[in-house]
Every structure is written in structure tokens, then in C-alpha cells.
Structure 1
């Protein structure tokens, strides 16, 4: 069976890797390089040579996660990882920090800030996780929390992650939001892992093990036609590729643009794709600490500032490599960094309660007429774990006999 996969991000590549021993496949990628939301650059700063991520970055320290299982399966070991503390500092423009999280080596005299106790009490007292389609605003409203804790911490972190305005976070899935808020007000910073070679190195490792799959980078699919035997992919260079099954590992708006209008029209199963509304998010890798607290003792790995109804983060690479390099969101900043090393842009998808319901609808039509969807947007909180899980789910449908499926944890 010949399978076409549009998109060479982690979801598309893992799908290809899982079915490679059973199916022939072609992966088509519009960009000149593979990786999708995993984009890495290597450089030397203050005598330290390191790889910095502009997109997806952290890996859960849980060895049983799908991400960890995939890394092991393609040959990564302990020497490829660095464990770092996932600490947080939150503040608003020209205001002292609302919350300063625990961080190794932080001076004892640095206080946690006025939002620490209410946020800690809120997170510690939640009990059983809410259903996926319960809005976060309902959970927050059930507690008596000061506005500073809500707007500048709880809502701010989620707004920064998904590129939405702070007030919109009230409509985000509570369960998804709480997934990312775990550990924000812990007595010790939660450990996470980064790949020393950058997250893009995982994409290259996966691609390097493909034997029956062709990867075409710098090839933008222009349109997709439904045929009696499957699909035909037409690219902007005039090329055509016929496949029996199709996997779209691209953002939903791109899928809508590529598919025939008749397939995404009202009343058709794939009309649900119109309910996935992405937001643009821009990042800069830079050297000047323009978005960090003035007091260095309050710096954390993640630093989130609220401004003008938005919240944007700045990741400090000091805990990773011992150098002052920063990866910052610059989508809505009024002041841009001066010492910029690289920039990149992505599309974020806020996991609203309505999106959760759309994900369920999409799951019901997976595989219909030989069309499959893979990516972080397909289920759950919308992270790299979700992307890998989605690839495994597609592979179970396309190549249930693949021996590589045993490597990944069953969702």
C-alpha cells in the first residue's frame, strides 16, 4: 500500500517510521527542512557551543511517556539529555513579580510573591481532574482567588503557551490548562529534560531509519484530489503523486486549504476542521535580557510577563547551558530584542472546550475514505506527546502488523 503523508513534523515522520516496514510512503514537506515545530540552531556563546530550540523544547522526565519511548527506540540515551529545573516567574509590566517559583540556588531572601499562596492553595486543592470539556474559567470561578493570581499567573501561562489573549483563557479546557500549570507553585522546581542536540535532532534520527519512505522537502502541496483509488497530490512545481491512503500531518487550516472544497463543506465529515482556529506566535532567540526581571535573583527558566491583555514568555537557557541566551515570544511586544540570533513563527491552537468537542468529532471520522489526521491538535492538551500518540493511532489503522508499534506506549 502506498501512503502519502503531508508534513514532515514529528507527527508525519513518526507515522512514516511506524509504517515503514509494511507500507511504501512519500512524505511531502513545504519547508526546506524537516522538523515542523521542532526547529533548532547551533552556535557558540561565551565559549559555550550549544544547540538552542526555537520551537518545541522540553521532554517529560517520565521514562514511560510516548516521547521517551520513541527517543529510546531510535537510539537516544542518557548522554543525549540534560535535566533542568522547570521554574517560573510571573509579573506585569513595571510591577514586582506576582509569583517567583522555586529554583535551585535562588537566594533564601527572595520571596515567592503575593500570588504564591493563593496559586499554591488552588493547585494543591483541586482533587480529581475535571472533564476535558469543562472551561478553565468555571474551575477558577469556583474558588475565591485574587485577580493578580488569576490574570498574571494562572491565565498568563496558558495565554503565553497558546498565543491567545489573557481573557480568552477562561474558555480553555480546564484539564488541558492544569496539565501545564502543574508544578508552578511547588516547593521544588519540577525536573524536565531537553535534548542536547536540540529537538530537531529527533526528527533527523527518525528520518534516518526510514528505508521504504521517500521524503521530499521544499515541495509544497498545492491541492489534493480524491480519486477512485485514493488521492493525488499536486505540488507547486507541477508534480503529481498518486497514493492509496493519505495522512495530513499539517495544521487544520492548511488541511482545509488543500482538500477539495466538497470534502470540507457543511454536512461533510471533515467540515469539523473549520472549528480548529490557530493563532500566530513568533519567537526570537536573543542575547539581551530585555524581557527578564530587573533583579537577576528572580530569574527563572520560564519568565512570563503580562502586558496589554496578552502574556508572553521568555525561556532562559542559563539553567541548560550556563549562558545568557533567551528564547522569547515577540508576537505582541512593543519593544523587540536588540541582539537577535534567529527568529521563527508557528501556529498555536488554544485547547478550548469547543476544540475538545471538535477533537472528538474528528476522531470519529479518522480513516474515513482513507483519510487520516496526525498532529498535536488531534487530542488532549496539544503537545509533542499528543503528536506522537496521534502518529501511533494512525499507524495502527494503516499497518497494524508493524513491529515498531510495540515501542510506543499505548495511549
Structure 2
């Protein structure tokens, strides 16, 4: 079969990589580079150069598929950096943070760890999120409907348990109550965090786009076309025609739309029998996010003893993060959300994204995409699953490949070893 894949982000590239041994692949990407929302920038020069990510950042220890994929494409253990998942939470009105969580025993020397009510609130968020997972809470249930914050005062509810998810999704703090509890809780479903040492996250030493390029490098027969946006899909007998913006047409037997829902809707406008699919795709809502990489401590606490890997600032109904790359890279390089606040003085790069929100409507849309599927047409991307994460982007590609190429040796390698792990 000849299979067309639209979108060279994580989901599209993993799909192409899994299908490549079994089918002829055409991969179209509108940008001039690979990676989708993985935007890696180089900061500095020579041996002191650091690679940091705008948009996609560190991944959890729990991301088994992602970790296996990294090893499968030849990125060894020396390609990974282990980063302490430490967190500082502060309000712009206060000089002293609400929370400075533990870092690592070595790095905590000289740091002032601040726990107290905010730490208890963080533990409450983790317990509630775990309960939602264990009880199999329906994805249409909102945070407001599912949560029990009776032990928390209004300040801790607003500035901790709602502010932390708001910083992940980029929405207003008050909007968190209306998000799907399962979509929010998946990022916080953990036991009470340790007061002695932070958990670990991982990042790629060469940035997230290093994985994208490794995947592309192992495509043996696939044709990869950059700066080739998919304009529309057309029916062509029992096949599809993928039409680029310049009018160039490609005939394929099946199509995988590994692009955001709004881009998939546009591509389906001319394809008959897709009214219900377009309606489902239109149900997704988005938050506009702007990130900047910078060298000045914008968004960081004034007192360096309060610095963490993730630094969350609550202000004006919003909650935005500044990631400090010091713990992994041994350098004062930062990446900040700057959608609703000022601009760093020593800005190196910036990028804007449209991130889908985990709303009950998004759950409804995912179900409709499955119910009203069209033969030969597939969707891939984290939005097709519960969490907007690299793990779910990889998992969505596995779902597609399991149908289109169940005999793929790469699929067997990835899934069998992950099950054993």
C-alpha cells in the first residue's frame, strides 16, 4: 500500500517509522523542519552550547513507550539527561514563595525548602488525581464536579490546585474547574511527593528534535516533503488524492492525518462523507501559548535559594512557568511562558503554539472520531487520546500502525518490550 501521512511532528514521524518496513510512505510537512511542536534552539557556541526546547519539554519517568522509542532509534543512555522535577510556586504579590519543593540532596545544599500549606495542597491534588484514575472517572466529568477540596482554603485552591494545571495547559486559573478531570489529573496522579527528594524527569541532551531527526534518519523508503502543507483531500476512485497548497497531487491508498484538529478539518472540507468527522474536530478548543528562551532570570524568584527546575508564577488570574535548565545543563538558560506577561531582556528565541484543551467536549470529539471513522482515513496525535503528552503522541501512532501494519517488526519491538517492562 501507499500511505500518505500529513504532519511530521512526533505522531506523524513515529507513524511513518512504524509503517516504513511494510508500506510505501509519503510524508508531507508544512514547516521547513521536522518535529511539529518540538522546537529545539541552540544557545551559546562551541563546547558550552546548550540545546533547549520551546513547547515540548521534559518527559516523565512513566513514559515507557517514549523511552523505548528513544532506545529503538539508537539514542543511548548518554543522550538522556535526568532532571529533578523540583517546583517553586509564588505569587507576584508576595516576596516569599508559597512553595519551594525539594530538589536533589546534592543541589539542595544552600536551598531553602518551603513546604507548609502549599505542599499539603499539592499532595491533595495528587491524591484526588489518583482517585480519578483508580475509579475510572468518565472523561466528561469536570474538575469542579469531581474534586473534593474541602480541606483547603480558597487561597490554596486557587493559587495551588488550580494554578498548577493552568500552568500546564496555559488557560486561565478559573478555567481549570471546567476542564475534564481525567485530562488534568493524568499529569498529577501520583502519591504524596517526597519531602526529601524530587522525582526525576528526562530530556534529550540534543533537544526533542533530536528524536525527530533520528526517526527520519531511519526511514528507508519513505518520501519526506518539507514545506509541503496538505491543502485538501479528495476522493479518487477507491483511493485518496492528497493535494498540496501549490496544487501538486499525490494518490495514496490510505491517509493518516497527524496534524492538529483544526488543520485536519481544513483538509477534509472537500472530502465527501466527512460531515460528522468535521463536526467532531471542530469541538476541540485551544489556548494560544507563547514561549521564549532567554538568558536573564526573568520569571525566577529574586532569591536564588528558591530556584527550582520548574518555577510557577501566579499573576492576574494566570499561572505561567519558567523552566531553569541549570539542573541538567549546568547553565543559566531559561524557557518561559510569556503569553500574559512581559518579555525577557535577553531573549534568544520565541515560538507560538495552539494547544488543545482537555475539555469534556474534547472527550466527546475523540469518541465521535472513532464512531464515524471513514475507511482508509486515520487520525494520529496526542489529542486522539487522554493526555496532551509525548507518550500519548507515540501511543496514537501505535494505534494506527496496529491497524495498517500489524506485522511491522518495529511495532512488535516497541510494544512487546514495553509490555515486558
Matches within 5 A, 1:235-246: 235-246=244-255
What TM-score does the superposition give when structure 1 sets the normalisation length? 0.93
Q: 1:181 to 1:234 in 2, by over 3 A?
A: same
Match for residue 202 of structure 1 among 211, 222, 226: 211
Q: CA deviation at 1:167?
A: 1.0
Q: CA deviation at 1:163?
A: 2.0
Q: 1:402 to 1:60 in 2, by over 3 A?
A: same
Q: CA deviation at 1:150?
A: 1.9
Gaps spanning 5+ residues in structure 1: where?
A: none
1:16 partner SS: helix
Q: RMSD between aligned alpha carbons?
A: 2.2
Cross-structure match for 2:75: 76
Q: CA deviation at 1:147?
A: 2.2
1:362 partner SS: helix
Matches within 5 A, 1:163-174: 163-174=170-181
Q: 1:261 to 1:304 in 2, by over 3 A?
A: farther
Gaps spanning 5+ residues in structure 2: where?
A: none
Q: 1:32 to 1:172 in 2, by over 3 A?
A: same
How far apart are the structure 2 equivalents of 1:317 and 1:45? 16
Q: 1:66 to 1:365 in 2, by over 3 A?
A: farther
Cross-structure match for 1:273: 281
How far apart are the structure 2 equivalents of 1:127 and 1:318? 31
How far apart are the structure 1 equivalents of 2:327 and 2:121? 27
Q: CA deviation at 1:126?
A: 6.2
1:134 partner SS: coil
Q: 1:122 to 1:18 in 2, by over 3 A?
A: closer
Cross-structure match for 1:66: 65
Cross-structure match for 1:123: 126
Q: CA deviation at 1:320?
A: 1.1
1:79 partner SS: helix
How far apart are the structure 2 equivalents of 1:303 and 1:321? 17
Cross-structure match for 1:10: 10
What TM-score does the superposition give when structure 2 sets the normalisation length? 0.91
Query: Which range moves more in the overlay, 175-184 or 202-211?
Result: 175-184
**Are residue 314 (structure 1) and residue 322 (structure 2) matched?**
yes
Matches within 5 A, 1:65-214: 65-95=64-94, 96-104=96-104, 105-106=107-108, 107=110, 109-124=112-127, 128=131, 129=133, 130=135, 131=137, 132-182=139-189, 185-187=193-195, 188-214=197-223
